[in-house]
Structure 1
């Protein structure tokens, strides 16, 4: 098991104005032409100014400065700030935040913004356990102090955080502080620096789950050894039963063994689906493992004893195809429910 697969964050922290909100559309609409032709250069210059600023100066001042640097009139930043309440989240964001919340994760935001505008923008994205603006921390990202402020507010260490970045500067800054980073590069920004995010692209619960693993915190925060126990106990149960099943089937018969395996499988499946602790899940997985061991022995033995010689081969093949086909359907259903709350159940 790799480090990333065994790691679990305590909190997930987001950039606001690019990772969660489609602020780019509002910037474009605030220019005289109302298009990205003027909006993109202005926003690019704004990112350069804010990420190069360091200590806090009034946010509105930097917005005006960036507009002046690219030759836009003062009416553009004025219009942008007046329409700040119209900021909208990316379409996928509300669903992702809701699902992460249902999985038990604390959520935070650190943003290069003034206190008032940051809080206003945050209200457009969703509810968070902690929000820290540049106006509150006294620093603009990627200064270490900006990230440290949200860590302090959420009472966590950097190594316990998954950071969802919106820009290349955030990828570099959060990585340098010691956070693991996923880059929601929704607008196709160019990479800068040497930092490499764990994932890059449109943010979905599936993309984050590739880092968090799909069971999330539904069974508590599992250690690497506990995850390995859940994975391996099924095989262990199958191994033990496969060795002894031949003797029990000779004594009680093949059909009784098959009936017993079916009932045991149903019980094990119900226990797993209803599990909310490591112990419950382990018991369910163990019972299913016992069934696997019984099935490996009894089903094929029963077919071999009952089927005429000319049908025996293809009947055993058909049984194997049914098992493999059932597994394929199981994986397909699991993939379809990956983004659903408790979808693994």
Structure 2
């Protein structure tokens, strides 16, 4: 009997020792082999600078010490110790890009995210505008606008696509950007027949410039009236615009007319390579104080597209993103295979990058076979 008791006690002591060894293996500082890390990338939702990281057991709150809006949070093991560092420069973002922590404040508010488009025979158009991360964090509204509209007064069915960027600090610049697009469509429609004739007959650049300046004079007047109505100064209602007129219908080569003032850029994506076809500058910025035709420079250029090409209009801030090699490759890989649906286009445009907090607005025209 005594021998049996000694055996039982020996087994019990051995089990306790094994259990104690296992517990010690799980203690903090046991070594990297015993700590399993999870990496969670999150976007800081608001000015409170606090992120909640969902874990399998509970929520962990992290105070963000620096100005970064996007961070990498590493949650190692059961201790829930958190280290904060900068996020990678670029990566595909979830859909949607982010859910705002609050609605925009101010009388000039607008939807956080907008997408539109249509398949117009062989020409497919997609447009989108997303509020920038900084505007979301500060509860400010989006300052950009875009327009895709067929112009009924042209003898041939014609599509107008436009992007406009308002002054980031202007009180009514979002309204000015939207008004700029709408008024541009109205004014170009009013001069539809002479413009169509000049484009069809390959008139001289001077003739086309004079027609466009005449059409745009009414658009500049619209911005001036907006400023008077709100008793706002020039900066508050400043905006610039980039647009393209595209004849519709079946054609082996389509001739577009790209025009604009301000900092927008038009790119041609062909065979996976990006080619700038119209670049503007700060000297062409449009405002009521520098209204066309005398106040700022109007630029225009004809662009020919063939099946497989993508013509991209974007605001100046968006153009800076596309010039980055990682972004250019991401969009080229997504868009050279064909036009996406509307939600797919929005998701492809909503890539995550730590390098830009500004609004993102662009219109793309796919030439299909």
TM > 0.5 = no
Determine which structure has greater relative contact order: mean sequence separation of CA pairs < 8 Å that are 6+ residues apart, divided by chain length.
Answer: 2
TM-score, normalization: structure 2? 0.27
Higher strand share: 2
Higher helix share: 1
